[in-house]
Homo-oligomer: A and B are copies of this chain.
């Protein structure tokens, strides 16, 4: 496909600066882009590449327009350049890789499972008793769908994903490879040093438009439901324990761990490798910094970091104080010497 810059501007409601007749045939990152490709500038660290990129045009924000114009390059000015670029990528990427509709002969489907219209079920996929698979669902090869699972329309399960019994997935959900939804929660009653398994009889509900990365674990509830609400996006290798609730449109970055019964609000961002204790609540719009250890409730819209996690401004101040410690210790030593000298004079 080929589009002029002016045509793209119209599609995404952006402004052209420079030659609108430049022809764009593809998209790429600012460092990899070649002639004929469109790139974007969203991270200020990459502003220096404006000069050197081989891209034929750049999408950027009004704030970067001046720098862009100095580079002499044709521009698309958009209020959300990353979002604008995403829409143009969709255009050039074309429709999702076509998956052959139908059921592969090597797939094993229980006679009591119900399949919707136009599903695609890959080789060696397993669909157990009473599972309900919505219209246009794509189940890639090697996926396991357990007994009584319900899958909404247009959901995609990537190769070797595992969805265990009684899980409920909404519409347009994406579950990446290696991910396990609905495994047993980690619950034991300890008596006399031995650990007796607590039956995990709840389930997992994943609402519409959720995306779950690769090799994630979302455990079923002990009783009741572990819930990932609409629109939330979860990165790879995340651990979500039994009875956790994650609100709508939240972002959970790779290798985060959320302990049992903790509730995450809507629009929350939890950055990579953060850990959250059990039975706490993170309010709507809160941001948890990478590698934080959250041991207490986080109020709505608060930004926390560090271990134990506290308000980010405080945590930053403490880190700055720690960096001054060698100097402080030196100062205190000096004070001791000077004070001793004053005391000595007095004693005379």
A residues lining the B interface (CB < 8 Å): 27-29, 31-33, 43, 45-46, 80, 82-83, 85-86, 89-90, 92-93, 97, 104, 106, 108, 122-124, 126, 128, 140-142, 144, 146-147, 158-160, 162, 164-165, 174, 176-180, 183-184, 186-191, 193-199, 201, 211, 213-217, 219, 221-225, 231, 233, 235-237, 239, 241, 243, 249, 251, 253-255, 257, 259, 261, 267, 272-273, 275, 277, 279, 290-291, 293, 307-308, 317-319, 321-326, 328-329, 331-332, 335-336, 338-339, 342-343, 345-346
Contact = CB atoms under 8 A, between A and B. Distances in A.
A29 B198 CA distance: 13
Given A29-B224, A321-B322, 5 more contacts: A31-B224, A142-B144, A162-B177, A318-B325, A338-B339
Contacts of A80: 189, 191
A162 B342 CA distance: 74
Contact of A177 (B164, B221, B231, B257): B164
22 contacts: A82-B189, A104-B108, A124-B126, A142-B144, A158-B164, A160-B162, A162-B214, A176-B180, A178-B180, A188-B233, A188-B251, A195-B251, A215-B216, A237-B237, A272-B275, A273-B275, A275-B290, A318-B322, A328-B328, A328-B329, A331-B336, A342-B343
Given A186-B235, A217-B213, A257-B254, A28 B177 contact: no
Contacts of A178: 162, 178-180, 215, 217
Given A123-B126, A186-B236, A231-B195, A321 B332 contact: no
**Copies of this protein in the complex:** 3
Contact of A146 (B146, B159, B267): B159
A268 B215 CA distance: 26
Given A180-B176, A199-B90, A291-B275, A97 B147 contact: yes
B321 A236 contact: no
Contacts of A215: 178, 180, 215-217, 237
B183 A158 contact: yes
Contact of A159 (B126, B176, B272): B126
Given A144-B159, A239-B255, A272-B257, A325 B326 contact: no
A342 B332 contact: no
Contacts of A323: 318
A199 B96 CA distance: 9
A296 to B, nearest CB: 11
Contacts of A216: 215
B126 A141 contact: yes
A324 B328 CA distance: 11
A342 B165 CA distance: 76
Given A257-B254, A293-B291, A339-B342, A214 B180 contact: yes
B211 A197 contact: yes
Contacts of A221: 29
Contact of A249 (B86, B195, B329, B346): B195
Nearest to A172: B197
Given A144-B141, A160-B142, A291-B307, A85 B194 contact: no
6 pairs of A and B residues whose beta carbons are closest in the complex:
A83-B189, A321-B325, A32-B224, A144-B159, A108-B123, A217-B236
